[in-house]
Chains A and B, each alone.
Chain A
Amino acid sequence: MKRSAFSAAIAFSMLAAPAVAQEPKRDLVVATSQADAGRLDPHLASAGADKGGLNWVFNALVRIKPGETSPEFIEPDLAESWTSSADGTEWTFTLRQGVQCHGGYGEFTAEDAVYSIRRAASKETSAFSGDFAVFDKVEAPDPYTVKVTLKNPIPSLLGLLSNYHGGLMVCGKAAEKLGADFAKHPIGTGPFEFVEYLPQQYIKLKANTAYFRGTPQLDTVTYRYIPSDATRDLAFQSGEVDMIFGRQNNQWVERTLAVPGAVVVGMEPAELNALYLNKTVKPLDHIRVRQAIAHAIDRKLMVAFTGDKVAREAISVVPDGNLGVVNAGLLPHDPEKAKALLAEAGYPDGITLKTIQSSLPVLLKIMETLQAELKKSNITLDMQVVDHPTYMADIRKDLSQVTLYQAARFPVADVYLTQFFHSRSTVNTPGGVVNFSHCDVADAEIDAAKRELDPAKQKELWKIAQEKIVADVCAVPFSEQLVVWAWNGALDLGYDLQGSLNLVPQLTEQTHFTK
Chain B
Amino acid sequence: MASEESLTALRQRLGLDRSLPAQYLDFVGSALSGDWGESMVTGRPVVTEIMTVLPWTIELTAVSLLLGAAAGIPLGVWAAVNRNRAVDYAVRVASLLGLSFPAFVSAVILLLAFAIQLRWFPVISARSGSVGAWFQSITLPALSLGLIMAAYITRVTRSAMLEVLSEDYVRTARAKGVRWPVVVRRHALRNALLPIITVVGLFLGIQIGNSVLTEIVFNRPGLGKLIVGALNQRDYTMLQGMMVIYTLIVVFVNMLTDIAYGLADPRVKLQ
- Chain A interface residue count, CB cutoff 8 Å, equals 35
Contacting A at CB under 8 A, from B136-174, are: none
User: B232 in the interface, Cβ–Cβ < 8 Å?
Assistant: yes
Residue in chain B with minimal CB distance to A200? B221
Contact A238–B1 (Cβ < 8 Å): no
Q: Taking the nearest CB of chain B, how far is it from the CB of A361, in angstroms? A: 13
Name the contact of A36 in the complex, choosing from B43, B217, B225, B234 (C-beta under 8 A).
Answer: B225
Summed over the interface, the residue pairs from A and B with CB atoms below 8 Å come to a total of 88
29 A-B residue pairs with CB within 8 Å: A35-B232, A36-B226, A37-B42, A39-B41, A44-B43, A183-B42, A198-B221, A199-B53, A199-B221, A200-B53, A201-B126, A201-B221, A224-B219, A227-B228, A228-B219, A230-B108, A231-B111, A234-B115, A235-B123, A235-B124, A237-B116, A238-B116, A238-B119, A240-B122, A240-B124, A388-B232, A427-B1, A429-B1, A431-B3
B residues near A198, Cβ cutoff 8 Å: 126, 221
Contact B42–A39 (Cβ < 8 Å): yes
A441 CA to B119 CA in the complex, in Å?
Answer: 61
Closest 5 A/B residue pairs (Cβ): A200-B221, A35-B229, A432-B1, A235-B123, A389-B234
Residue in chain B with minimal CB distance to A29? B124
B residues near A235, Cβ cutoff 8 Å: 123-124, 219
User: A104 in the interface, Cβ–Cβ < 8 Å?
Assistant: no
Contact B234–A430 (Cβ < 8 Å): no
B residues near A11, Cβ cutoff 8 Å: none
B residues near A184, Cβ cutoff 8 Å: 44
Chain A facing B: main interface SS: loop
> Which positions in B face A, CB cutoff 8 Å?
1, 3-4, 41-44, 49, 52-53, 108, 111-112, 115-116, 119, 122-124, 126, 216-219, 221-222, 225-226, 228-229, 232-234
Residue in chain B with minimal CB distance to A396? B1
Q: Taking the nearest CB of chain B, how far is it from the CB of A18, in angstroms? A: 18
> Which positions in A face B, CB cutoff 8 Å?
35-39, 44, 180, 183-184, 198-201, 224-228, 230-231, 234-235, 237-238, 240-241, 388-389, 396, 427-432
A180 CA to B44 CA in the complex, in Å?
Answer: 9
Given A35-B225, A200-B225, A235-B123, decide whether A430 and B1 contact each other with a Cβ distance below 8 A.
yes
A227 CA to B1 CA in the complex, in Å?
Answer: 30
Contact B43–A39 (Cβ < 8 Å): yes
Q: Taking the nearest CB of chain B, how far is it from the CB of A47, in angstroms? A: 8
A430 CA to B6 CA in the complex, in Å?
Answer: 11
A38 CA to B49 CA in the complex, in Å?
Answer: 12
Name the contact of B124 in the complex, choosing from A36, A224, A230, A388 (C-beta under 8 A).
Answer: A224
Given A199-B53, A199-B221, A388-B232, decide whether A231 and B1 contact each other with a Cβ distance below 8 A.
no
Contact B112–A234 (Cβ < 8 Å): yes
Residue in chain B with minimal CB distance to A46? B41
Contact A231–B216 (Cβ < 8 Å): yes
Given A230-B108, A431-B1, decide whether A240 and B123 contact each other with a Cβ distance below 8 A.
yes
